[in-house]
Chains A and B, each alone.
Chain A
């Protein structure tokens, strides 16, 4: 395998990016972390969304509480492209520390908005500069000194509203929603917005082509982040025990789970909670708790990120080997090691798939949208119970923490599947059971009893050491092998149950793109760019591991396969080449690991380059 390193430069294939202009550009707000700019950024995103314009908001933030630089990318796209872009047409520079970098980042023909107080020499001739008296207007707002840095962010909201044509009613509505209808902060913040609108109107002559106009592309849609969507899915999947240890970027998933549980699972009369969410002392204890709860029969989950997954390794192997159902959300961030805790990546795929010592293979779900975060949130429990095994949901920081447009989530279309669980009556009828025997159906899954089942034959002994079909200790080579073979049968059974890939076959396409997760929006856009340049591509989006027959068919039908992913080694490529060695030579890696979501420009350029080099 090879990892591509694509340099910028002329290409034989002419890749046309859609020209920026009306309802098609990127705003980047460069601010200081902890200065309250999130409120302003969310207000902008929501106002644009309410105007019916497809929009996405991505926070590129530091591992820091206050003081380090942060960038918020807002993409406005009438065409519905919501992936990150490499370009920045409108840059709001409010962080002196990164001003040089921010000025340089403005695309030619773009706009730079900056505080008048900086007395900036306007050196670039290919961009438009607009200065705003940000500090003065914050002072004039009447806010006390403590609040001034926060309301200062509303200055750029007002300026952008005037310059781009964002409707003030929608901005006011978004501010009102943000502050939960509390009049005082609404008045203060919207007052600053209005003052900035007025200042801009009086003092700035618009000299750029960027503006928005009302559209109808967001009707029936909502804005949410993947961690909230996943938490909601878990609630509808019947989670009753969750144990976790705080780690960015997964923490907000459990925060959301707590909020939804309080709303939906508390008996208002008695105060009783039909759930338990425990903040454990570390990730080892977190997974230990859900293993205990899963064994007892509860639907149990944890949420973590790479370092937490590392700590959970021994228990993951244990749960696999003892056939214990649990659900683990991995909101992936940059590794190795502590890495970049607040930057996105798909770097845990290989580790999670084989997590554990000895021969271990897990089931991974790979959501790529808010709908899938929700759907996999509940489906993971059915899979875990049916397969009696850990199920990993591999999200990432981009999906989990950023704001995405989504259709309303579909209510679960299937009742709970609790898998093979024997009751006392079953035991009476059967006269006993073999815990780890699949002789009835060959699925690799044996029947289990839950502790508390009132029958003399109900008990069995769980152990991570060698056990035979009757759950008795064994060191016999044939019994050991039989057990591993059963677990492999179970992995193959999982192929028939996991969500199948989404395939877009294009007649006559020799190129097949394979990807997964949060790369999807950038790939859709990249395919349009490649198609416009004459490169026809088919697309298979994996939604789970192990692979299913759809993958095999797709890999066999295309001459050249590009596996696009957001990590350094091309981890999914490794797995796919192992799953289908006969097509390994046709697969190539298109992977990048820089902490940022992939862009359509990079993907299309990378594939075009590889096509050209052929």
Chain B
């Protein structure tokens, strides 16, 4: 792939910011944590896409993953909310100002267990944000309990044997009519970056489930959320190039092997079906892909489903161009004569 323009020699992006302007505080996660790799990708992508930090909000819930917004984009407002409740906070925040970009960082416990209801309702409302699940199948902060995305039959030192089936957050997103469902692996920086760039262009909730191994509590080789398993079983379903609309890019793709999808902002995502079977615009095919992957215990990565046709929340709510949070007193408080008229009607 050759789509992404290399940063100019000066080290400044299109809005004149250096990569340093996108950095966060030093991480306090365990050394080697997959989450830190994802934070590095977000920094890189925000820089590459020339996102103005003051125009983006960083949202999270509770857990190891939810700490990470402190570790990237220091110049963006951040909100580390309550466990499983990031979707509702983001919904309200983006209703109040629908012109902001938003990236949410959640974990498998935060999304798959305590927050599953809010997650699905956020997707249903099509809240415009990039929603990342840093998925390791385990509760790290409380020292190693199973999460709802843990594999059936998996063993953990303290929790023992997991006899319940795993919740697949991608499948849950798909069922809730999510227009952008993707999965990747924290150890695959190139694919994570590609998917992140596409996700930022999506007008609606973009769900990105990133398998992010826990080096402390879930890196046993029999877990699908371990490095060893991930590297050995990863099946990349499609490779695509992300092309920002402002640049004319020629891509070295063979005709007949690719499908172009125009994103809301005019950007084009070009998908390559490596196995020649998966069409990411086919919802049934996406469900079958995930179901089959469960049966074969495979890790499917790539863009699983894309649908740009749904309106996002702000459009559904008929919001004005000026964000609600910035409306003036004159725009918000009706006149005295309006009150007097209402009063007269009640007399």
Q: Which residues of A pack against B, CB within 8 Å?
A: 220-224, 232, 235-241, 243, 264-265, 267, 270-276, 278, 280-282, 284-300, 314-315, 318, 408-409, 411-412, 415-416, 449-456, 458-465, 473
Contacts and interface: CB of A to CB of B under 8 A. Distances in A.
Closest 5 CB pairs of A and B: A288-B88, A292-B92, A289-B92, A298-B96, A292-B93
A554 B346 CA distance: 37
A275 B321 CA distance: 12
A276 B89 contact: no
B121 A288 contact: no
A240 B333 CA distance: 10
A298 B324 contact: yes
9 contacts: A220-B347, A223-B346, A224-B346, A288-B87, A298-B324, A451-B57, A452-B54, A456-B53, A463-B80
Chain B: interface secondary structure?
Answer: helix
B334 interface: yes
B228 interface: no
A494 to B, nearest CB: 23
B30 interface: no
B77 A292 contact: no
Interface stretch (B2-10, B158-166, B210-218, B337-345): B337-345
B26 to A, nearest CB: 11
A318 B82 contact: yes
Contacts of B187: none
Contacts of A236: 333-334, 339
Residue from the set B90, B94, B343 with the largest chain A CB neighbour count within 10 Å: B343
Interface in B25-74: 52-55, 57, 69-70, 74
Interface string B306-342: 0000000000011111011111010111101011101
Contacts of A293: 92-93, 95-96, 324-325
Contacts of B76: 459
Interface residues of B, number: 58
B85 interface: yes
A288 B80 contact: no
B310 to A, nearest CB: 17
Contacts of B97: 296-298, 451-452
A222 B345 CA distance: 9
B285 interface: no
A451 B100 contact: yes
Interface string B102-142: 00000000000000011001000100000000000000000
A413 to B, nearest CB: 11
Given A289-B91, A292-B93, A409-B339, A264 B334 contact: yes
Nearest to A449: B77
Given A224-B346, A473-B70, A289 B75 contact: no
B337 to A, nearest CB: 9
B81 interface: yes
Contacts, number: 210
B229 interface: no
A296 B75 CA distance: 16
A273 B319 contact: yes
A458 B331 contact: no
Contact of B347 (A222, A243, A273, A300): A222
A416 to B, nearest CB: 5
A176 to B, nearest CB: 14
A142 B115 CA distance: 57
B262 interface: no
A149 B87 CA distance: 48
A264 B82 CA distance: 35
Contact of A232 (B96, B99, B323, B342): B342
A295 B336 contact: no
B343 to A, nearest CB: 4
B246 to A, nearest CB: 21
Interface of B: 21, 52-55, 57, 69-70, 74-82, 85, 87-97, 99-100, 117-118, 121, 125, 317-321, 323-327, 329, 331-334, 336, 338-340, 342-343, 346-347
Given A272-B320, A273-B318, A315 B95 contact: no
A409 B341 CA distance: 11
A228 to B, nearest CB: 9
Contact of B117 (A281, A459, A465): A281
A412 B332 CA distance: 13
A267 B320 contact: yes
Contact of A459 (B54, B81, B85, B336): B54
Contacts of B317: 273, 276, 278
Given A297-B325, A464-B81, A459 B75 contact: yes
A292 B333 contact: no
Contacts of B320: 267, 270, 272-274
Contacts of B332: 238-240, 265, 274, 299, 416
Contacts of A452: 54-55, 77, 97, 99-100, 323, 325-326
Given A276-B319, A296-B325, A461 B92 contact: no
A434 to B, nearest CB: 16
Contact of B318 (A243, A271, A455): A271
A97 B149 CA distance: 55
Contacts of B343: 222, 408-409
A478 to B, nearest CB: 21
A356 to B, nearest CB: 12
A464 B325 contact: no
Contacts of A282: 117
Contacts of A296: 92-93, 96-97, 100, 323, 325
A222 B81 contact: no
Contact of B54 (A239, A267, A455): A455
Contacts of B339: 232, 236, 409, 411
A450 to B, nearest CB: 7
B77 A451 contact: yes
A465 B80 contact: yes
Contacts of A290: 92
B89 A291 contact: yes
Contacts of A273: 317-320
B331 A462 contact: no
A225 to B, nearest CB: 11
B88 A298 contact: no
Nearest to A291: B89
Contact of A241 (B53, B54, B96, B321): B96
A232 B89 CA distance: 25
Contacts of A274: 320, 324, 327, 331-332
Contacts of B52: 454
Nearest to A299: B332
Contact of B88 (A222, A280, A297): A280
A449 B79 CA distance: 13
B273 to A, nearest CB: 36
Nearest to B325: A297
